[in-house]
Amino acid sequence: MNTIQVIDIVTLILALAIAIIGHEIMHGLVAYKNGDPTAKAQNRLSINPLVHIDPIGTILVPAMLHFSGAGFLFGWAKPVPINERIVMQNGGYDGLIAVSLAGIAFNFTLALIAVIVLQFVPPAESLVTYFITKLLWYTVIYNIVLGVFNLYPIPPLDGSHVVSHFFSKMGIHSVAAFYNKISQYGMILLMIIIATPLSVIIFQPISYILRALLP
């Protein structure tokens, strides 16, 4: 393995880790701003990656996708604990929606910052500039992937929580009840979508956005 390949792998891992760990931290931070100390009390607002690593979502799934040549990476960190009752008491349904959207907002913001910074990075004529370019490039890709993917209203993705809380705010609680019933099957449904031609429907919008941001 040559130096360029090592840089590619290191920057890929760094970008993915920052995207998924930052995503979870933001959920906990916004919950904390709404009076919920749960994540902070369990040290889950820390930037220490060890407290956020999920053996399957952070290591196994990304590694399998990478070495199988899947053409994309996806993963997740250990979910940050949220006490929805406390958030509801302090922020209402708007607070719950804000907590659900916090990770997505982080991903999109970080992707846009990386796009802007890329415009000022000199051509990758040295290992240092190559490292910086690849890290920013992967940062755009994985934050867009995570941001868009989590918008889909499929449990346990954030989009399902946003939809559930929104309709509950409107007084339509049947949507939340429906999601509660199917939540145990959500991960199975996601794996089926990712592993079948249905994945085209999910990832096509991501491809459009990435082509626009990284021509």
Exactly one of 12, 15, 22, 24 is catalytic; name it.
Answer: 24
DSSP for 129-184, please give it.
Answer: HHHHHHHHHHHHHHHHHHHHHTTS--TTSHHHHHHHHHHHHTT-THHHHHHHHHGG
SS3 189: helix
Closest C-alpha to 199, from 54, 89, 65:
65
Q: Confirm whether 24 is a catalytic residue.
A: yes
| Alpha carbons within 13 A on the beta-carbon side of 9 | 8
Q: Which residues are annotated as catalytic? A: 24
